């Protein structure tokens, strides 16, 4: 199980169910990593997806009220479940499909699955936002329990008119 997250230097990942940055290269990286895999997210993250479930992936959506959503999607690419059910569902899916699992947010889902993840792909965004959803506690654990094994790239996004520096880093859990 792996995790993918974009976070600024204050531990902020988003605000009002939206990402704070428009970084096309980071989105391409996300698609390359998660395509044809199993992705796990909370219901608010799912609701924030502008075009619905992510295509070419099995979308696992964790919610406290899964029955409320079960009739909305008639295919096997979207599964609504509660946190307890997710453990068994993920185990079965990984065994039956041999696909990788990526945790993609939001904050509560990151916090719950963090210690279960082997690899963590972090886009460190060099911005100063202080308001929003924070995963600062995870960043502290990341520095203690994981080591950098690859710096995938440092970039400056200029296309959006507001230059944003960011770095994509792969961490692996200490054995």
Cβ proximity of 84 and 91 under 8 Å:
no
- Find the domain containing 38 and state its range: 2-173
State the pLDDT at residue 24: 87
Domain count, the chain: 1
**Which 3-state string (H, E, C) describes 29-84?**
HHHHHHCCCEEEEEHHHHHHCCCCCCCCCEEEEECCCHHHCCCCCCCCCEEEECHH
State the pLDDT at residue 94: 92
State the pLDDT at residue 70: 73
Radius of gyration of the chain (CA): 16
State the pLDDT at residue 76: 72
CATH number, domain of 73, equals 3.40.430.10
State the pLDDT at residue 164: 87
Q: Which of 165, 14, 174, 23 has the alpha carbon at shortest distance from 104?
A: 14
Q: Please say if the pLDDT value at position 162 is more than 70.
A: no
Tokens of 111: 């916090």
For 15-69, what is each residue's pLDDT tens digit? 999 999 888 889 999 999 999 999 999 999 999 999 989 999 999 999 999 988 8
* pLDDT bracket for residue 160 (50, 70, 90): low
State the pLDDT at residue 151: 92
Distance of CA 81 to the CA centre of its chain: 17
For 67-88, what is each residue's pLDDT tens digit? 888 776 767 799 999 999 999 9
State the pLDDT at residue 112: 97
For 124-158, what is each residue's pLDDT tens digit? 999 999 999 999 999 999 999 999 999 987 777 66
Q: Provide the whole-model pTM.
A: 0.93
State the DSSP string of 114-146: GGG-SEEEEEEE-----SSEE-HHHHHHHHHHE
């Amino acid at each position: 199980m792996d995790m993918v997250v974009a976070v600024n230097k204050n531990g902020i990942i988003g605000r009002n169910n939206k990402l704070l940055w428009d970084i096309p290269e980071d989105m391409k990286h996300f698609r390359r990593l998660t395509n044809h895999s199993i992705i796990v997210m909370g219901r608010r993250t799912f609701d924030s997806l502008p075009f619905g479930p992510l295509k070419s992936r099995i979308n696992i959506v964790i919610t406290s009220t899964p029955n409320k959503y079960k009739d909305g999607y008639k295919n096997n690419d979207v599964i609504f479940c509660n946190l307890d059910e997710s453990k068994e569902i993920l185990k079965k899916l990984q065994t039956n499909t041999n696909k990788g699992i990526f945790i993609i947010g939001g904050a509560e889902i990151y916090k719950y699955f963090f210690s279960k993840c082997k690899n963590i792909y972090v886009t460190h965004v060099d911005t100063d936002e202080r308001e929003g959803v924070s995963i600062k506690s995870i960043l502290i654990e990341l520095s203690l329990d994981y080591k950098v094994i690859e710096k995938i790239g440092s970039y400056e996004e200029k296309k959006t008119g507001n230059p944003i520096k960011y770095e994509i880093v792969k961490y692996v859990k200490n054995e």
